[in-house]
Homo-oligomer: A and B are copies of this chain.
């Protein structure tokens, strides 16, 4: 179990005030799966007919709940999500699949829906048996506890090594109505395994079909969760769900290109990025949030890859932890990314101050503004690679002793 429980210095001042979202209720309780004295089981109930979109980990050793989720997603509807913290239910063979099925069937019977409308998420230690009987036993008490104002409690109950609960909110005009988008997430050490899996659940009262929700979620997650990294590791259990109850009663949208979607899309992107950055701000041991903007790559995909190679470099991350303007390490990381660059146009800036330009160091650099910027909590790094129009922004945190403390003695 993590030794460090002090709130991250990069945490927002408080959890946001999240309003009720029509069509959704939340319940939490102590099931005693691993932790003692805290709520570790969460139920999100969605009104019948709720549309669902999802992004799951690409891991080849994905957990049993992810295998189930991938299978039921084409069904397109969701009636509930059940989430436990403390055990990830990964790598347990038929026993792990049976546990997920038992949860889905029990909830389907209780909520009078098909098992294919029940999503399951588990986060915690990998490879140990999930005590699914504790979940099954808890479900009868969980359902009467469902409440429209339970989302903040849910944000806390899904936490593992997180040092603060994560929530985000946006509203948008859509088809003649104001719709609400509210989300919660857990994760610290994106995208890290064990108890540091990233889970995010976003609910909205918008009336949108899965065929529209899914591409919106994919695009939004590419610019948020998939553009952030703490240590480059990918969890077996990462799950991002978007549920749309339709209770807002907006007029239907004709398709993904409908201009009426623009405001909703922007609001969804805002919620996803807000949640993703909160995960980075809770990166294990993080003292600084690092934003890396790459321009001049062949295309946006190349730019994102360049940014992520820099963001995952332990040498860059330790330099930032030390407040060291060691841009040579950025040049190194750019060089090993395997993307096309134009060395004679390569440039790097810290906090807007160029330190390298056109393939060489900036002569007679005044390091004072750079040092001042690096002493802060939010570090901006701009990288120009001089070959094309591709741009991307990615986020990470610094690599500190806290990361070692948390991860070197964590399971036991």
Stretch at the interface among A11-19, A53-61, A296-304: A53-61
Complex alpha-carbon distance, A358 and B339, angstroms: 38
Do the beta carbons of A314 and B232 come within 8 Å of each other?
A: yes
Chain B residues, Cβ within 8 Å of A327: 127
Do the beta carbons of A332 and B408 come within 8 Å of each other?
A: no
Chain B residues, Cβ within 8 Å of A312: 232
Chain B residues, Cβ within 8 Å of A332: 59, 61, 126, 193-194, 233-236
**Does A255 sit within 8 A of B, measured CB to CB?**
no
Do the beta carbons of B407 and A318 come within 8 Å of each other?
A: yes
**Does A328 sit within 8 A of B, measured CB to CB?**
yes
A387-412 with Cβ < 8 A to chain B = 399-401, 403-404, 407-412
Please give the distance in Å from A92's CB to the nearest CB on chain B.
6
**Does A277 sit within 8 A of B, measured CB to CB?**
no
**Does A294 sit within 8 A of B, measured CB to CB?**
no
**Does A71 sit within 8 A of B, measured CB to CB?**
no
Q: Select A409's contact among B192, B194, B324, B358, beta carbons within 8 Å.
A: B324
A182-236 with Cβ < 8 A to chain B = 189, 192-194, 231-236
Please give the distance in Å from A68's CB to the nearest CB on chain B.
15
With A314-B314, A321-B404, A335-B62 known as contacts, the answer to whether A360 contacts B328 (CB < 8 A) is no
Chain B residues, Cβ within 8 Å of A247: none
Do the beta carbons of A331 and B407 come within 8 Å of each other?
A: no
Do the beta carbons of A400 and B410 come within 8 Å of each other?
A: no
Q: Who on chain B is nearest to A385 by CB?
A: B60
With A126-B328, A193-B332 known as contacts, the answer to whether A322 contacts B408 (CB < 8 A) is yes
Do the beta carbons of B314 and A231 come within 8 Å of each other?
A: yes
Chain B residues, Cβ within 8 Å of A404: 318, 321, 399-401, 404
Please give the distance in Å from A348's CB to the nearest CB on chain B.
9
Please give the distance in Å from A361's CB to the nearest CB on chain B.
5
**Does A145 sit within 8 A of B, measured CB to CB?**
no
**Dominant secondary structure of chain A at its interface with chain B:** loop
Complex alpha-carbon distance, A194 and B332, angstroms: 9
Q: How many A residues touch B, CB cutoff 8 Å? A: 70
**Does A241 sit within 8 A of B, measured CB to CB?**
no
**Does A139 sit within 8 A of B, measured CB to CB?**
no
Do the beta carbons of B127 and A61 come within 8 Å of each other?
A: no
Q: Select A92's contact among B60, B360, B411, B412, beta carbons within 8 Å.
A: B360
Chain B residues, Cβ within 8 Å of A92: 360-361
Complex alpha-carbon distance, A145 and B408, angstroms: 49
Q: Who on chain B is nearest to A96 by CB?
A: B360
Complex alpha-carbon distance, A88 and B361, angstroms: 14
Complex alpha-carbon distance, A189 and B328, angstroms: 16
Do the beta carbons of A410 and B324 come within 8 Å of each other?
A: yes
Quick one: which of A93, A126, A321 has the most chain B CB within 10 A?
A126
7 other contacts beyond A91-B331, A91-B356, A324-B410, with CB at 8 A cut-off?
Answer: A61-B331, A127-B327, A129-B361, A192-B315, A234-B335, A236-B331, A318-B408
Across the A-B interface, give the 4 residue pairs with the lowest CB-CB distance, nearest first: A126-B328, A61-B335, A322-B408, A193-B332
| Contacts A/B (CB < 8 Å), 16 sampled | A59-B332, A60-B341, A61-B334, A91-B331, A93-B358, A93-B360, A95-B360, A231-B314, A232-B312, A233-B332, A234-B332, A236-B331, A319-B411, A322-B407, A326-B410, A404-B404
